[in-house]
Amino acid sequence: MTRQDPPIFITLGNRKGGVGKTTSVINLASSLVRHGKKILIIDTDPQSNCSSILLNNTKDQTKYSLIDALEATEGEGLLSGIVCSTYHPRIKIIPNTARCMLWERKVAQQSDAVMGISRLISKDPALNHYDFVFFDTPPNLGVMMNNALMASDYVIIPIPPSDQFSLDGLAAYLDLIGAMRKHNQKLQLLAVLITKYDPEWGNSLNNVGLINKYFSKKGVGIFNTCIRNCPEIDIAHVARKTIFESAPDSNGAADYSALSNELLEIFSVIYGKQFV
C-alpha cells in the first residue's frame, strides 16, 4: 500500500464494555508499527481511556478533541489538525473527552447526526498519510458508534467468551452493522476476535464453540489468534503503556503480535497486494 492510497478504516466495536476494545486498538496498533505501518487512532469513546493511555502529553487532551472538529464551522474542521503524538512516532491519536456526551445529546435528533466523522474524513486528504485508522468505540449503540461505523471499511468485534453478557448483546450490534451497511455499502464485518481467553475459566471453552457455530452460519470468520488472559495487560494500562513497552515477553505481546500478522495476511488476500 502506498502513502497515496486511502487508509483502511477499522472499527473495533461491541455494545458491551470491558470486552477488550481499547486494549486491542492500542496493542494492535503497537504491533502494526513494528511492520512499518503508520497508524491513526480516533477515540470516539467519551470515557477516553485510549487517549489517556496513549497521549504523549496528557495536556493535549484538554487542548484537542474530536468534538472540536465535529463542532467546527463548516469547512473549517480538519481531523488532521487535531492529531496528537503518542509514545511512538508512527502512532498518532485524535483524543476525546467527556464533552462528547454533550455533543451526542445535542445532535441525537438531527437526521445527519451519524455523518459527522465521514464528512470530516472526505474533506481531509492529509489522512492518506496513514495506512490504518482505528476507531475505539463506546460501549453502546449511540451516535458515536454510528459515526464510527459510517466511516469504516471493516468491523472487528472483540468478544470474551467468559462474559455471557457480551454474548447476549451480539444480536443488537449485528443488527446495527446491518442497518449501517444500507448507507455505507463498503462496510464489512471482517472477523470476530476472541479476547480474555482462558479455557480453564467457567464456560469459556464451550462458549468459543458456540461463537464459532453462530458466526459460521452468518459467513463471518473468527481470527485464528485468541488474545489470552494476561494480567500484564492490566498492569500496562495502569502504567499508561502498551503491552510491548511494559511486558514484551508476555503472552499478551505474543498474541497481539500474532494478530497483527494475521490481519496483514488477510488484507494481502483482500487487496491483492503485499501488506506484511
Interatomic CA distance for residues 183 and 74, integer angstroms: 22
When divided into structural domains, the chain yields a total of 1
Locate 14 and state its grid cell: 461491541
Which DSSP string corresponds to the chain?
--TTSPPEEEEE--SSSSSSHHHHHHHHHHHHGGGT--EEEEE--TT-HHHHHHBSSTTHHHH--HHHHHHSPTTT--GGGG-EEBSSTTEEEE---THHHHHHHHHTTSTTGGGHHHHHHHT-GGGGG-SEEEEE--SSSSHHHHHHHHT-SEEEEEE-TT-HHHHHTHHHHHHHHHHHHTT-TT-EEEEEEE-SB-TTSTTHHHHHHHHHHHHHHTT-EE-S---B--HHHHHHHHTT--HHHH-TTSHHHHHHHHHHHHHHHHHHHHHTS---
Task: Read off the pLDDT of each residue in 48-71 and give the average, rounded to a whole number.
Answer: 92
Give the position of cell 500484564: 232
* Cα 194-272-128 angle, rounded to 5 deg: 80
Asked if residue 79 is part of any domain, the answer here is yes
Encoded amino acid at 145, one letter: M
Q: With bands split at pLDDT 50, 70 and 90, how would you rate the model's confidence at 4?
A: low
Q: How far is CA 171 from the centre of its chain?
A: 19
Q: Are 12 and 173 in contact (CB under 8 A)?
A: no
Asked if residue 12 is part of any domain, the answer here is yes
What pLDDT does 201 receive? 78
Asked if residue 1 is part of any domain, the answer here is no
Asked if residue 224 is part of any domain, the answer here is yes
Q: Give pLDDT tens digits for 24-39.
A: 999 999 999 999 999 9
Report percent pLDDT > 70 for the chain.
97
Least confident span in 92-96, 152-156, 198-202 = 198-202
Asked if residue 276 is part of any domain, the answer here is no
Locate 65 and state its grid cell: 478533541
Asked if residue 263 is part of any domain, the answer here is yes
Q: Give pLDDT tens digits for 243-264.
A: 999 999 999 999 999 999 999 9
Q: What is the pTM of this model?
A: 0.94
Tell me the residue range of the domain where 73 lies.
Answer: 8-270
Does residue 3 register a pLDDT over 50? no
Task: Read off the pLDDT of each residue in 104-111 and give the average, rounded to a whole number.
Answer: 91
User: Between 201 and 67, where is the model more confident?
Assistant: 67
Query: For residue 163, what is the domain's CATH number?
Result: 3.40.50.300
What pLDDT does 206 receive? 85
Asked if residue 275 is part of any domain, the answer here is no
Q: Give pLDDT tens digits for 175-205.
A: 999 999 999 999 999 999 999 999 887 778 8
